[in-house]
Chain A
Amino acid sequence: MNIKDRILEIVPEAQFAEQGDLTATIPAESFHALAERLKNDKDTQFDFLLSLTGMDWGETLGVVYHLESTVYGHTIVLKTMTADREKPELASVTDLWRAAEFNEREVFDFFGIRFINNSDMRRLYLREDWVGYPLRKDYDDSLNPLRMTNEVTEDTTEELSVDEEGNLVNKTNVLFEDKEYVVNIGPQHPATHGVLRFRTSLEGETIKKIEPYCGYIHRGIEKMNESLTYPQTLALTDRLDYLGAHQNRHAVCMCVEKAMGVEVSERVQYIRTIMDELQRIDSHLLFYSCACMDLGGLTAFFYGFRDREKILDIFEATTGGRLIQNYNTIGGVQADIHPDFVKDIKEFIAYLRPILKEYHDIFTGNIIVHQRMKGVGVLTREDAISFGATGGTGRASGWACDTRKRKPYAMYGKVDFKEIVYNEGDCFARYMVRMDEILESMKIIEQLIDNIPAGDYQVKMKPIIRVPEGNYFASVEASRGEFGVFIESHGDKFPYRMKYRSTGLPLVSAIDTITRGAKIADLIAIGATLDYVVPDIDR
C-alpha cells in the first residue's frame, strides 16, 4: 500500500516534494477529509500525530503535520496553507487527534491561524493581552514592552465553529462557572516541577476540572533560532529539557547531519549512545528523587541525588559541565573522552546495581506508596496515542513507543535491550517503567563500554554550514519521550524554521483527562510520575 498513491486517490490535487522527507501539500478545503480517511482507514491507520508545526512562508501561512501509524509504522508529512494573512482559518483536527488541542493553540499564539471547530481557541504561551504574532516574519516587537500589570485570566474561551447553514460563527465556551470553587496552583509552587500554572475547580477534595496555563518560561527559542547559524542553535538545545541535554543535542545534530548527508564515525556513535544512556539514568534518578519528595518521603530524595552526583562527576570529567554539557556537535563531539571514562563508568555501574535494590526497599515496597500510587491517575492506551504521550508515560499505558526500537539510530540497532511496557497506566506503572529503564540503560552501557572503537571524534566540516533546501525531521528517545527536531531550510546558513517536538506538551494536555475525579493529593502524585520538565513544554 503506497501512501503517495492513496493520498492522490483521495485528493488528486495533492503535490509532492521529495527534497528531504516526502511531503504532500494538500489544499485547505480537502485537508480534514483526507486526515479523517488517513486515520480511520484500516490499511493506513495514522493514529499518532507526531508533530504539528505552524509555518510562515511569506505570502502564505500554513501548518505542517507529521503523522505516524502505531500499527504499521509508516510515516507521512502533510502540509496545508492559506493565503489570507489577515484572518487565516484552517480546519482543526482535534476531533481526530487530541494532541492537536494544545498544538493548534500554539499555532494560533505564534501565527494567528484560527482553527475551525477547535473548542478552545486561546493563546497558549503568551499573555492574553499580547499584540501580534511573534513567529510571523513581519512581527514587530516594539508593540510589546514589558507589562508589569497582573494578567486578568478569563473564564471563557472562543471557538470558531460552523453553524447549520455552513457559516463561520464565533461561539463562546465557558471554562469555569461563577459558583465553582477555583483554586490556583502555581506558577510558583514546589510541586509543579517548574513554572506551570493550574487552575483547578474543586469540590471538597475532589478535582472537577483542571486548566493548565503554560508560557511562564517561554523563552522564544524557536524564533531566536531563525537568526542563529546552525552551530549557534546548538547552544540553546541543552537548555530545553536540561535533564536530557545530550539527547536534545543529539537530535539536532542527527537532523542536520542527515540533511547534509554527513556520516559520523563509529567512535562518535558509541560515545553518543553511552552519553545518552548515562543522561537517561541521571534523569530517572532525579525523577525518583522528586517523586519521593512530592509524596513526602524526603530521605529518598537525598539518596537519589547522592547517586546522581556520581554521574555528574563522570560528565564533568569529559564535557566540563554538570547540567549543561555542550558536548555533541554537527559531525561529532566536542572533545574526546577522558582517559578514565571507561573505568569510572564501570565502577559506577557496579555501585548502582545494589543501590537500586535499596531504593526499592525504602520506597517501592512501602504500603503507603502502593495506596497512593496504585490505581491512581489511569491513562488508557487510546488516550496516550491520541495525545501523543510518549516516553515512560506511554509505555506505562501499554503503548510500545520507544524511538530506540521503532526507528533505531546511533548504536541502538546493534545492542540488545528490552523495551519496558506495563499495561495498567496508573502512577505506579509509570514509576516502575522508569526504575526498570535504569537497569536497561546500564545493560546497554555495559555492552558498549569495552568496545569503543578507535577513530576520529569529529568529522571535518566546512566553516559555514549550509543545509540543502527541504524539510527534515529527526527524533530521539529523550528521557521523557520522543524529542523531535523539524528543520525547514531554504538553503541558507540559518534555518528558515526550526521546531522542537516537545516531550512534555502532550503530558500536560493529558492532565485534565487523567485527573478528573481524583483528589488534590493525587494531582501531586500524577504530576510527579508524569515527569515533565516545563522549559521543554514552553521552549
Chain B
Amino acid sequence: MFDFSIVSSWIHGLLTGFMPEGLAIFLECVVIGVCIMLMYAVLAIVLIYMERKVCAFFQCRLGPNRVGKYGLMQVFADVFKMLIKEIITLKNSDRLLYNLAPYMVILASILSFACLPINKGMEIINFNIGVFFLMAASSIGVVGILLAGWSSNNKFTLIGAMRSGAQIISYELSVGLSILTMVVLTGTMSFSEIVEGQADGWNIFKGHIPAVIAFIVYLIAGNAETNRGPFDLPEAESELTAGYHTEYSGMHFGFFYLAEYLNLFIVSGVAATVFLGGWMPFHVSGLDGFNAIMDFIPGFVWFFAKAFFVVFLLMWIKWTFPRLRIDQILKLEWKFLVPISMFNLLLMVLIVVFGLHF
C-alpha cells in the first residue's frame, strides 16, 4: 500500500539538509497547519455542496445547477459573499466573549480533525491516547456555543445555547461509551494502531453483535453531538429564528456554518476509523489474491469513501425525520442510550475475555 511516511521522511531529510533540526520542524509545522486549514475549507465546501444536492434529490427537485456546471461553483460564490459581508458589532454584547465564540468552535473542530488518520503514515496528531484526546478536544466546542448564546445579549440565543449545551454534554457520554467499547475490542487508544489492527477485517465484523450495537449508538449520539438531524432543536429555524448564532453576521457566522459541516465530517470520520477500518482496505482473511487487489486502491480513497458514506447516511436521516423536543432528546439519551451502551460495554468485555470475537 502507498505509505505516506515515505514522502514525509523525504521532506524531513531534505529540510534538515540545509537548516537546523528545530527550524526544519517549525517549518514543517507551519506547512502542516496551512494544509489542515486548506483541507478543512475544501472539505467544508464539498460537504455543503453535497448537502444541497442530496437534500434536493430527496425532495424531488434539482438543487443548485446554474452556477457553474451542475452547480459546482455555488459554494464558492457563497464563500465569496460571506467574506465581504459587514460584521455588525452589537451595542450591549459582551465584546470579548462575542468575538471569541466562533474561534473556539473552529478551534475544537480543527483539533479533532487533526486526529484522524487519512492514510498509512499520514496522521497529524498521533499518540498513544488519541481517542481520549479526540473526545476532550471536541468538548471544547460546547464552550464556544454557550459563549455565543450568552454573549449575544438576546433571550432567544440564550435559550438556544442552553438547550444545545444540555444536549451536547449529555450525548458525549454515549459517544464515549461506544468508542470505549471498541477500545476494549482493539486494546489500544491510538488511532493509527486501531486502524492497523483492522488489517484482517474491520472492527464492525470482528466484534459482531456488540460492535453493531455500538455503531448504531455512536451514529445516533454523534448526530446529536453535531446538532443535526432529528436533534437540531437548538438551531431549529422554525422555533427560535436561528438559535445561538442569531446575532452573528459575515465571517463569524461563516465560521459557525463551516464548523457545523466539519463536525459532521469528523463524526463520520471517527465512525469510519473506529468501526469501518479507516484507511484499511476491505480484507477478507484467507483470500490473499482479493486482498492484494484491494490494496491497489490507496488508503485515502478508502477513508474518504467510508467517511462520505456515513455522511450520506446521516444526511438521509436528517431529511427524513421530524425533530424531537428537548425533553425527548434528553430522555432518549439518559433513559435509553446510556443503559444500552453500558450493557453493551459489559457484553464486549465478556466477549473479549472469552475470546469470542473473530
Binding site for B on A (CB under 8 A): 181, 183, 189-191, 202, 205, 292-299, 302-303, 306, 362-363, 366, 368-369, 371-372, 519-522, 524
Contacts and interface: CB of A to CB of B under 8 A. Distances in A.
Interface string B46-62: 00000000010011110
B288 interface: no
23 contacts: A183-B156, A191-B239, A205-B327, A293-B238, A294-B238, A296-B238, A298-B55, A298-B59, A299-B59, A299-B319, A299-B320, A302-B59, A362-B320, A366-B322, A368-B230, A368-B322, A371-B325, A372-B322, A372-B325, A519-B327, A520-B239, A521-B233, A524-B239
B319 A298 contact: yes
A395 B331 CA distance: 33
Contacts of A371: 324-325, 328
B319 A296 contact: no
B61 A521 contact: no
Residue of B155, B233, B323, B327 most packed against chain A (CB within 10 A): B323
Contacts of A296: 230, 232, 236, 238, 321-323
Contacts of A181: 155
A456 B267 CA distance: 68
Contact residues on B (Cβ < 8 Å of other chain), bracket: 20 to 34
A297 B236 CA distance: 11
A371 B321 CA distance: 13
A371 B323 CA distance: 10
Nearest to B230: A368
A368 B59 contact: no
Nearest to B242: A190
Contacts of A189: 241
B60 A521 contact: no
Interface in B319-358: 319-328
B237 interface: yes
A369 B241 contact: no
Given A298-B59, A302-B61, A190 B237 contact: yes
Contact of B239 (A202, A298, A306, A521): A521
B124 to A, nearest CB: 36
A202 B162 CA distance: 14
B238 A369 contact: no
Contact of B58 (A202, A205, A299, A520): A299
B159 interface: yes
A372 B320 contact: no
A476 to B, nearest CB: 31
The 8 closest A-B pairs by CB, nearest first: A296-B323, A297-B322, A302-B59, A296-B322, A295-B322, A191-B238, A521-B325, A190-B238
A372 B324 contact: yes
A189 B241 CA distance: 7
B239 to A, nearest CB: 6
Given A181-B155, A183-B155, A296-B232, A368 B324 contact: yes
B318 to A, nearest CB: 9
Interface in B183-241: 230, 232-233, 236-241
